[in-house]
Chain A
């Protein structure tokens, strides 16, 4: 039996009929074609599938699609606007915060939530804030640098910051 699910993703409304067992991450990837959200583990350790649900960072493999009914989601595809990178994306680029890039969307989304809650985190707070995400390439060194640098940029450009905190709408 299929269930109706209506979600707003990156500001656009989508309605689908889905199997109740369908995970939100599969809904985003397979039904909505938003393949920037990745799957890396199946047991909710790696965080590659992190998105924002009503502004909060959520591993989209831990939710069924039907649980997202009526919610507003932001995925990595919703971060850059009008061809302009989000400051966190820009900082990951500037600081070489990625290599293979597979974990990167999850890290960027988790960082977006962290900075929405704590606009000026210390290194320890960044480490604690991103402990739900795994990276195998960077040794995390440049990810920490990127988040620090993004925090700095965003504190001088507050308009952009509130956009993320509000869930991308």
Chain B
């Protein structure tokens, strides 16, 4: 890399000045002239037939532009909600989903009517006047009962509640392992349903220009190009007629990937009324309607030898799909493919069952499938250690895939690119002072105090992804990434990326890569994203820790093409052979004679002039797509130390140590920030958060931030972080992903610590969230 050496340095984020001064542009910060405001009427029942909708009073309310029900949208929108086949090859039953319900509502919050009015207040007032007559139907809430043939159905008239049922591998692959076993441990493991809760709720504003037949949509989205694809198709428009702009976005965590009903209804309302239309989600609408994560349970058994060698695993994932299949819902089944974690196995039998219920759909939420896999395998390893009276550290060491075994083909044929798991674990143990902690634990136990130490040696697969794997999974579009680099005549650089930054800091990190590669100051580089009218024809968005490992590499490749053209032109200007020209520190020079050189800016200017080599076109710009040959595989070791108060069930998180490896690091400050936030979200799942619906009626009981308990500044401890660096051989930058790492790692370390703390009471497993009431009950029972 060039002389500036920004890569690897803590560079202040370029996006921050506008955000810390109140000058960000989030979706609710701007409005088009003449805008009408939408409000939606939503089902208060989890499952019901819609008998009639009376809009008489609402239509006459002050400021009302119009009231609309499903019938009004029939001519406007076509097709059903897109559901990618993803990792589950065969879906059994994907219910049809129109953005607005007509005859049947299948979860609390499903839209039945829309109101447009001159102001937000008038729209909300009128929505309250709409009378809907429902016939309540039984709600399907329990995953096991839902599989019973006699169960009511989440959709009236459906044959069953099974969205998918797939065995990746059958029991035969683990027969030998279980026959050989000295011990077999079994556990049912719950994954609490979570609401992503980005601090900025969703929002959509659309303006259809009737005479130009052009549609512009502004929305809070992680992947505007996919929204353009889906919405244009549904509205009968060409992709080229639709422009989607996703400005500053106040967090996503997976909940702003898939298209939502409002993403179709708001543009349709604009086309129907010939006015700009805006809708901003309330927090209750967000918790009720934005896709949830997790919502699963697992039946797992593990076979091991008495020396701690892991042999085989049998696992079944029961996944609450919700009322409709989310666009990328089946991706969560990757928990099966990752269930082996950082260890070697003789075989893993894995089956996933996606079950339809009358709850809001689940879809990827930070980590999606990989937190579940880590939690499962790290819990099972601790159960094996407990059964064999071994130190959990030793069981892990005994079974790690070793550094000399990479690339390593794991149980499902996925190839783990690189790793050194023991190195990260050793460093974490050293930082935590593991042996001292064990001594302290023994002392405290004598005093009747419950200190616990929990370990999670996590791995993940991310950087989606190679076309061969992802194109079939999405139904045709490979999740590769694109970039365009344009150099202006005065040598400033505009970089367009198909990823979307909503907190990750791409304006900074991608800028660092380009600045080093071109040898130009960061200030000369502008990074643009989030507008489908700019840059490449298609972008793939940000999720799955993919932006740097796929998008960043695409940027680097596009820059490489610019340099290649620059070299040809510089050779012509220097009257040298192209192969004799080298590009270093921002200038082209002839090999062996650094004084014979042309600065990058001079070459850029010349590229717009007249003295070009024969056949060369004017300009200096390039487009590149990067199709990664493999996924990337970050890993690390996390250690949590907790003390549980046996009288109250309160968990005090006393220490958190994390050593993570995401390959080469572009900006260490941003990497640490991603880890802090990821770990916090995972602690949140382990100790605090759960979306609760009434078991019988399907009423959402945690519909505001009063009842849905996202942790505050008092709940998240200080974190002690370090890194190992094992470059990825998958891409030229040697990078992996870090966006989801903390979330993938931490539930296991925290819950393993809680179980370790309570082990003197004979407690072997604790489900999440390990809230005071749950623990208090368990402790009380264990003592009786």
Q: How far is the CA of A29 from the CA of B121 in the complex (A)?
A: 14
A101 touches B19 (CB 8 A): yes
B713 touches A142 (CB 8 A): no
Contact residues of A: prevailing secondary structure: loop
B705 touches A45 (CB 8 A): yes
**Best-buried of B17, B20, B198, B672 by chain A (most CB within 10 Å):** B20
Residues of B within 8 A of A38 (CB): 26, 199-200, 250
B716 touches A100 (CB 8 A): no
Residues of B within 8 A of A45 (CB): 704-706
Does residue A65 face the partner (Cβ distance < 8 Å to B)? no
Q: How far is the CA of A7 from the CA of B29 in the complex (A)?
A: 21
Instruction: From the candidates B21, B670, B676, B705, name the one contacting A46 in the complex (CB within 8 A).
Output: B705
Interface size on A, residues (CB 8 A): 54
Contact residues of B: prevailing secondary structure: loop
Does residue B16 face the partner (Cβ distance < 8 Å to A)? yes
A92 touches B16 (CB 8 A): yes
Does residue A3 face the partner (Cβ distance < 8 Å to B)? no
**Best-buried of B248, B712, B714 by chain A (most CB within 10 Å):** B712
Q: Which residues of A72-88 have CB atoms within 8 Å of chain B's CB atoms?
A: 75-77, 79-80, 85
Does residue B719 face the partner (Cβ distance < 8 Å to A)? yes
Given contacts A136-B198, A142-B673, contact A102 B26 (CB under 8 A): yes
Mask of B156-184 contacts with A, CB within 8 angstroms, 1/0: 00000000000000000000000000000
Q: How far is the CA of A138 from the CA of B253 in the complex (A)?
A: 13
Does residue B15 face the partner (Cβ distance < 8 Å to A)? yes
Does residue B213 face the partner (Cβ distance < 8 Å to A)? no
Distance (whole angstroms) from the CB of A38 to the closest CB of chain B: 7
Does residue B710 face the partner (Cβ distance < 8 Å to A)? yes
Category for how many chain B residues contact A: 35 or more
Q: How far is the CA of A76 from the CA of B18 in the complex (A)?
A: 11
Residues of A within 8 A of B29 (CB): 29, 35
B199 touches A131 (CB 8 A): no
Does residue A98 face the partner (Cβ distance < 8 Å to B)? yes
Given contacts A36-B24, A79-B21, A136-B681, contact A98 B16 (CB under 8 A): yes
Does residue B190 face the partner (Cβ distance < 8 Å to A)? no
Instruction: From the candidates B253, B505, B669, B713, name the one contacting A136 in the complex (CB within 8 A).
Output: B253
Distance (whole angstroms) from the CB of A89 to the closest CB of chain B: 4
Residues of B within 8 A of A21 (CB): 121
A42 touches B282 (CB 8 A): yes
Mask of B651-679 contacts with A, CB within 8 angstroms, 1/0: 00000000000000000011011101111
Q: Which residues of B18-40 have CB atoms within 8 Å of chain A's CB atoms?
A: 19-24, 26, 28-30
A137 touches B12 (CB 8 A): no
Q: How far is the CA of A143 from the CA of B676 in the complex (A)?
A: 11
| Known contacts A36-B23, A42-B282, A101-B503; 4 further A-B pairs (Cβ under 8 A) | A46-B705, A102-B24, A139-B742, A140-B713
In the assembled complex, 18 residue pairs joining A and B whose CB atoms fall closer than 8 Å, in A order, are A34-B22, A40-B283, A43-B706, A45-B706, A77-B23, A85-B17, A93-B17, A96-B13, A96-B672, A99-B251, A99-B505, A100-B200, A101-B16, A130-B713, A136-B251, A137-B673, A139-B716, A140-B716
Chain A residues in contact with chain B, CB under 8 A?
A: 19, 21, 29, 34-43, 45-46, 48, 75-77, 79-80, 85, 89, 92-94, 96, 98-105, 108, 123, 126-128, 130-131, 133-144
List of 5 A-B pairs having minimum Cβ-Cβ separation, nearest first: A36-B22, A102-B250, A101-B19, A139-B680, A100-B503
